[in-house]
Amino acid sequence: MANATPTVTLNNGIEMPILGFGVFQVDNDSTEAAVSAALTAGYRLLDTAAAYGNEEAVGAAIAKSGIPRDELFVTTKLWIQDAPAEENTKRAFDDSLRKLGLDYVDLYLIHQPFGDYYGQWRAMEALNKEGRARAIGVSNFAPDQLLDLIINNEVVPAVNQIETHPFKQNTDYQELMRGEGVQIESWGPFAEGKNGLFTNEVLEGIGKDHGKSVAQVVLRWLTQRGVVAIPKTVNPDRMAQNLDVFDFELTEAQMAQIADLHTGESQFFDHEDPEMVRWLSARRLS
């Protein structure tokens, strides 16, 4: 089933599955079983982060799966680092590799656009050249921050993982990223069910037309746009359902219907909110 998942080609030629499995807010005790079930269902893209506190459990599931390492695409993320950022980034990366039990990751992301992310990026460029991070990118970067990083550094981020779902669609930003060679990736593709996503009449109606669930419609909408998505669930039946979205196609009219759901508002938190900047910037991993 893994071979049935389409891929996107990153700006350095690496192939990345367009649909994967995320473990944000999956507690450490549940993560190993969830990742094992996801791998059994056919997922080959796994997304974690140092800040999630479950890298070890992800690594344990990978080790027990018996799946060849080159068939997996593993992403983890770097949390905000104190100075000296370059030195601490390399230390944090080594710690993530140790917890994952891997020799390399396929994608390493700056998790938040705060602190000395220039220093972090320089360290990540070195890790990329060493081959220990096959691709490097960012998460939660706004257009101005992303362009600033691109213009003033050697390596163009391969990916920008940002909040993207029917209520916050990022279509204009996706076009800007495409022009710069950056792949858009969605976190929170279902908006965690907020704003009535799972009972939305438009999404339900489109689902009935195709014999699919609202979740499947959303994932098909994202992947049809060329957006990588990493839905999260600990339910094996929903894992399989979320992966089963490549046997139908939304019409132009249906894509337009979903486009009309856009409000542009975050369903989670605003990175431009001063209090959120203070909270994120003060948080350090123990």
Q: Is the peptide bond before 166 cis (omega within 30 degrees of 0)?
A: no
Query: For residue 165, what is the DSSP state?
Result: B
How many Å apart are CA 277 and CA 281, to the nearest integer? 6
Class level of CATH domain 2-282? alpha beta
Would residue 52 show up in a list of annotated catalytic residues for this protein?
yes
Residues 6+ apart with CB under 8 A from 52: 23, 24, 25, 26
* Mean model confidence pLDDT for the chain: 95
pLDDT at 213: 98
Using a pLDDT cut of 70, give the percent of the chain over it: 98
pLDDT at 286 over 70: no
Q: Among residues 52, 104, 108, 117, which one is catalytic?
A: 52
Residue 2 has pLDDT above 70, yes or no: no
Strand 228-229 with 183-187, pairing: parallel
Domain boundaries, the chain: 2-282
Mean pLDDT of 97-126: 97
CB atoms near residue 280 (< 10 Å) = 20
Contact 108, 138 (CB under 8 A): no
pLDDT digits (tens, 9 = 90+) for 132-151: 999 999 999 999 999 999 99
Exposure string for 151-172, b = 16+ CB within 10 A, e = fewer = eeeebbbbbbbbbbbbbbbbee
pLDDT at 119 over 60: yes
Give residue 284's pLDDT band: very low, low, confident or very high (50, 70, 90). Answer: confident
Mean predicted confidence (pLDDT) in 201-221: 98
Distance CA 65, CA 43 (A): 12
pTM of the model: 0.95
* 3-state SS assignment for residue 110: strand
